[in-house]
Amino acid sequence: MIPADERLILALDVPTVLVAKDLVEQLGSTINFYKVGLELLMDPDVHNFIDWLHSQNKKIFVDYKFFDVPNTVASAVRQLQSRPIEFITVHGNDEILEAACMESFTTKILAVTVLTSLDEHDMKDLGFKVDISDLVLSRAKRALKIGCDGVISSGLEIKKLRDEIDDELIIVVPGIRQEQNDDQKRITTVEAAFENGADCSFQPIGFCNLAEPGSLLRHTHNLTNRSALTHLRHRSRSTAMMYRARRENCPHHMASYPLSYHFPNLWRTV
């Protein structure tokens, strides 16, 4: 079962670690999963902050959207394996995603499908004459085949992903806003996202009522308990381990593989 307090992720889109730490301390046990993105990455103390979050029993989602030549992405993912990170986002083609998966043993790789700040007009401007939902589905299927654990998708495409891929992929949803007042274009409400089958969603700081954090916790429980999807999806992790098995000639890596790799019959979808 996915605990309700791990299905809503708060995006720490703030300029400094000091501001982020203050927010985490204010929210206390209300939020137990945090996203660290590019803005906070610019603070030189960000990785010590990640360790501090872990010491507070928080889960961490690193949303760096790695997008570079495969060897560089592989090296970046490898560097983060020593950190207590749950999710890492990776952008790009098959070779980039595969390079990330080959280096990920302690974290889950989430493939970015199509940024939620892009709509049909933007795609045409970029030279892509394609339906966005079809493109998201295609990229999600390829990510699963490559060995990614999940995808980042807008809430508008969740139902199509669930219908076509069912429960093989972790779906994390960004771009969920109470009001359309920013640069996100393909958005939905947090209620709709969970009802359509999202595993997790991440929200901006403005979603929180810092004056009464308990109200946020109650709201989160109500949302997640109403959705039919209440279990972790493991099949993609099993697929990921199969693809990473090619590294079995490197014994020092084998100890990092979970029991599911050595004893696949123990790895079942709940």
| Domain containing residue 213 | 4-266
Q: What is the pLDDT of residue 94?
A: 94
CATH of the domain at 85: 3.20.20.70
> What's the CA gap between 64 and 49, in Å, rounded?
15
Which residues are marked as active site? 65
The mean predicted confidence, pLDDT, of the chain is: 76
pLDDT score, position 268 = 32
Q: Which pair of tokens denotes residue 240?
A: 């990921």
On whether the CB atoms of residues 269 and 234 are closer than 8 A, the answer is yes
* pLDDT for position 139: 87
Q: What is the pLDDT of residues 220-253, one digit of tens each?
A: 656 655 554 443 444 444 545 554 454 444 433 4
Choose the weakest-confidence range: 96-100, 226-230, 252-256.
252-256
Confidence of residue 213 (pLDDT cuts 50, 70, 90): low
- What is the reported pTM? 0.76
The helix or strand, by DSSP H or E, that contains position 17, with its residue range, turns out to be helix 17-27
Contact in structure between 136 and 159 (CB atoms under 8 Å): no
In this prediction, what percent of the chain has a pLDDT beyond 70? 66
The two three-digit tokens of residue 136, written as one number:
């998201």
Q: How far apart are the first and last CA of the chain?
A: 9
- Lowest-confidence segment of 174-183, 196-205, 239-248, 254-263 by average pLDDT: 254-263
Residue 90: its pLDDT value, please?
Answer: 95
pLDDT (average), residues 110-125? 73
pLDDT tops 60 at residue 181: no
SS3 143: helix
Predicted pLDDT at 6:
79
Average pLDDT, integer, range 75-84: 94
Q: Which of the four pLDDT bands, split at 50, 70 and 90, describes residue 256?
A: very low
Cβ neighbors of 253 (< 8 A, separation 6 or more) are 105, 247
User: What is the number of structural domains in the chain?
Assistant: 1
Tokens (6 digits) for 223: 């949302």
Residue 260: pLDDT above 60? no
What are the DSSP calls for 154-169, one per residue? Answer: -GGGHHHHHHHHTTSS
CA gap 270, 262 in Å, rounded: 19
Express each pLDDT in 182-197 by its tens digit: 666 567 777 777 777 7
Taken in order 86, 197, 201, 145, the sign of the CA dihedral is: positive
Residue 107 is encoded by which pair of tokens? 């974290």
CA distance 215 to 201: 18
